[in-house]
Structure 1
Amino acid sequence: MSIKLYIERVTKQMRNKEARASVEKELTQHFHHQIVKLKEQGATQQEAERKAIELMGNATTLGQSMDQIYKPQTDWLLIGLAIAAILCSFLALPYGQQVENGTLILKNGLYTVFGIGIALLITRFDYRKLLTFGHQLFWLGVALSFVLDFMHQSMLLWSFYKIMLWMQPICLLWTVCLAIFMTRKMNIWLLNAYLMVIFIALVTTLSQQYVPLFGLVFAIMLLCSNYRISQKIWSLAGWLILIGFALTYYYVLIYPTHGPYLMLRVAGMEEVNRYLQTILQSAHFIGASDVQEHIITFEYILLNIVQQFGFLALAIALALIALLIIHFVKTSQTIQQPFGQMLLIGIGTFCSLLFISNVLSSLGLLNIGAFMLPFFDYGLISTLSTGMLTGLLLSVYRRKNLFV
């Protein structure tokens, strides 16, 4: 029996077809090293191959063992934490007439079911296929940023801010030309800088509720592009996302043109801080606050929890999110596939920044408005973001033992 036929018989015993490539590569490397060792001991090529096969044992038995080793994994801890966070999102609902008559609870329940369905679909999807479409996703994002940019400008009234916004298409045109040049040169630093410019331009034209969803998509685009160009810098990708979001905050301060940011500035940051102080000072350790303030924007969902249920509920909510992020980091160390490991690190960085910024904003320490909390917010867009995020993480974990 030839080595090729032996490997085919082994892989045929595996029910998980996605793992066959990893097993084939592993066995091929093992046979190569074994044959080299036997030939050094004086065996011929044919003798070495025959002896190596004998040492491996029965192909059917080995295939069944490999099938158990490489069977799909389920991250039950992530599922448990994510479900707990999603359930806690019901605590963050702005309690009032809509909640009392059940309308908002029913709507959020339907959104939650939809998000879970999205997560299950993505879990079955092999995340490694993203690499095949890495460049397509990249240019799709460029086109999308153009479309959204011009759509938003057509809806704005003429103002000083609109004059500044007209600089964005010019910057985008310039960066597209630059991207073509640097893609040919394979300059990873310039390419990442370009991706961040595109993302910044997109964020400054979107209503704030869409930022987490598009941020996740752009983070995946960046990670795919990094991996396609250089497979040795996966640890750099997470830091680049972090820097990109820091730059995004800076640009948002320069272009406060719409949505919650404009609301915050119309009210004045002093007024916002008064809201925050009133809510925090009137809250109890357990139970509803004596003073019920209307939350100025829906991103301050942590304050809703404090008002309705007290600081203990807030501590539980923050602990859940912190555990999720820590779990990303620990899980990334068990992933064999470099691209999957890179995705976990990049997504962990993305969630960490949203988490930290939201907490600081809710405490009045970061006066630029709060971004949505990952896994924890309510509404269709945030539920879709959570579903995509959870599904992608489960997809990586499901294939944690694969290294091809």
Structure 2
Amino acid sequence: MRKSSQSFLGEVRDQIKSKEAKEFVAVELDYHLKEAKNKWLEKGLDETVAEEKAVMQMGSPITLGQKLNKLHRPKVDWLMVMLLVTTMGLGFLPILFIETEFLLRFNVNASYFTTQKVIYSLVGGMLAFSIMLINYRRVERFGWLFYGLAMLFLVILQLSPNLRNGKSLLVIGPYSLDSLITMPFFLLAWASFFNHKKLKLWHLGLLFIVSFWFLLNTANLPAVYIYTVMVFGLFWCSRFSRKIKLTITGGIVGSFLLLVFTAWPSMKMYQVVRLLAFVNPEQYAEGEGYMMLLLQEHISKAGWFGNVLNSGVIPDVHADFVFAGFTYYFGWLAAFALFTILALFIVRIILIARNVHDPFGKLLLVGAVALYTVQLVSNIAMTLGLIPITSISLPFISYGLMPILLNAFIIGVVLSVYRRKDLTSMRSAQPQQ
């Protein structure tokens, strides 16, 4: 019985349950059928016979459809989901140790923070789930839109009259948003840019300089730092040669060191004191070095099993200094276990990236792991006194809407790529004989 390529594709599609897989398989098989048909046309067969021959080579449409349905069935990375749920649950523990003075200052009780944490966790979970359902491949062509949205938000922030510690904020009801909220948009934009072969290196450099300048003007140095690490992580995994990467990186590092050297005499006194306090906190124990000494004192008293029943006051124990509080109250064993759980996200993303062959998907994973890792490493390094104290949260553990939204988005992107990692091109496959 004669069978056209369209009827063959229809029977194959009927065996596939996923809508995304239906579309993907239809495009790939159609290309494959046309390729086989052209080969028969080259042998002198007319178009109708050539099409029939191409269809026959593909075998049974039902059998093929069932195999493709099994191969391209959308998957959920349950290990990543379990890690997400576990870390969000652990994020409630630091609320137990918020100091009474802090509660009195804001005229609230611990149940307020618990309620807010529940809301943040639910919103974060829904965000991660929603991002997972979106086909990440479809957003690649909107890189310029995401870049524009991020830049627009930065402009709005700079025009906002709301400031906290000199940092620009956009206040919406009871919630405050800072420039960290632009990181998801920039991640999608830069993954698209680095996968766009028509964009030259100078184009990318100009885009980075402009965005870097606008970020810098929001006075959120941690966001500038996180953004820079993400972009350079993507740059090092991009299509450019190793020589170009080394040259650009060396030039930027050299320029930064030169800038620091030349700017040192003109730095403001409080900036100089902050740097000196990091080097020698004992000399500035009554000022900038106080917090670093306090963290060192509490960590030195942690022991293996902590001090749950003992008193100890760590400011912002539920926010930026959550790892210090976790270590002091629960001990080094619990702190190591927490770090291991958080580090498993990194290991899992890297393992997924190794099995993803789509360039855009791989770049998204690289950017995601860079965003996540820089937060985790910086927060713990700050707690241990390895870097100056900065306002960088511990992923999923620190209290606050911004850390939850950013990291939930990161995990959502990872889940989206994992869900579609088996939708790989079949164009290199040979027709069945």
Q: Aligned partners of 2:256, 2:65: CA distance in 1, in Å?
A: 50
1:375 to 393, 396, 404: 396
- Is residue 282 of structure 1 aligned with residue 282 of structure 2? no
In structure 1, the residue matched to 2:99 is 96
Q: Which amino acid aligns with 1:287?
A: G
Aligned to 1:361: 382
Judging changes above 3 Å, is the alpha-carbon distance between structure 1 residues 47 and 67 closer, same or farther for their aligned structure 2 residues? same
Deviations 1:131-186 (A, max 9, x none): 232111112222222222233699999xxxxxxxxxxxxxxxxxxxxxxxx9xx95
Q: What is the aligned partner in structure 2 of residue 7 from structure 1?
A: 9
For structure 1, the 5+ residue unaligned runs are: 158-181
Corresponding residue SS for 1:288: coil
CA contact (8 A) 1:295 1:303 kept: no
Larger CA deviation: 20-29 vs 348-357: 20-29
For residue 208 of structure 2, the aligned residue among 188, 192, 196 is 196
Distance 2:227 2:12 in 1: 39
C-alpha deviation, 1:273, in angstroms: 2.4
Contact 1:279 1:291 in 2 (8 A): no
Q: Is the CA contact 2:222–2:392 (under 8 Å) kept in the aligned structure 1?
A: no
Q: Deviations over 1:252-272 (max 9, x none)?
A: x979999xx99x999744223
Structure-2-length-normalised TM-score? 0.69
Aligned partner of 2:205: which letter?
A: A
Q: After TM superposition, give the deviation of residue 283 of structure 1 in Å.
A: 0.8
Distance 1:235 1:393, change over 3 A: farther
Answer 1 or 2: which has greater helix percent.
Answer: 1
The whole-number CA distance in structure 2 between the counterparts of 1:118 and 1:234 is: 36
Give 3-state SS (helix, strand or coil) of 2:355's partner: coil
Corresponding position of 1:345: 366
Match of 2:137 among 113, 128, 153: 128
Unaligned runs of 5+ in 2: 167-192, 279-283, 426-433
Q: Cα–Cα, structure 1 residues 379 and 368, in superposed 2: closer, same or farther, change >3 Å?
A: closer
Residue 294 in 1 paired to residue 314 in 2?
Answer: yes
Judging changes above 3 Å, is the alpha-carbon distance between structure 1 residues 188 and 348 closer, same or farther for their aligned structure 2 residues?
farther
Superposed CA deviations along residues 276-324 of structure 1, whole A, max 9, x for unmatched, are 2101111121132656132368312100101221111111111112110
> What is aligned with 2:52?
50
Residues 48-105 of structure 1: CA deviation (Å, up to 9, x unaligned) = 4323322322323322332222121101011011111111212233433459853322
Give the CA deviation at 1:190. Answer: 2.7
Counterpart secondary structure, 1:92: helix
Q: Percent identity?
A: 23
Structure 1 residue 217, shift from structure 2 partner: 13
Instruction: Encode CA deviations 1:337-366: one digit per residue, 9 max, x unaligned.
Output: 321121011111121122221121111010
Alignment of 1:104-115 (within 5 A): 104-115=113-124
| 1:236-255 pair list within 5 angstroms | none
Amino acid at match of 2:301: S
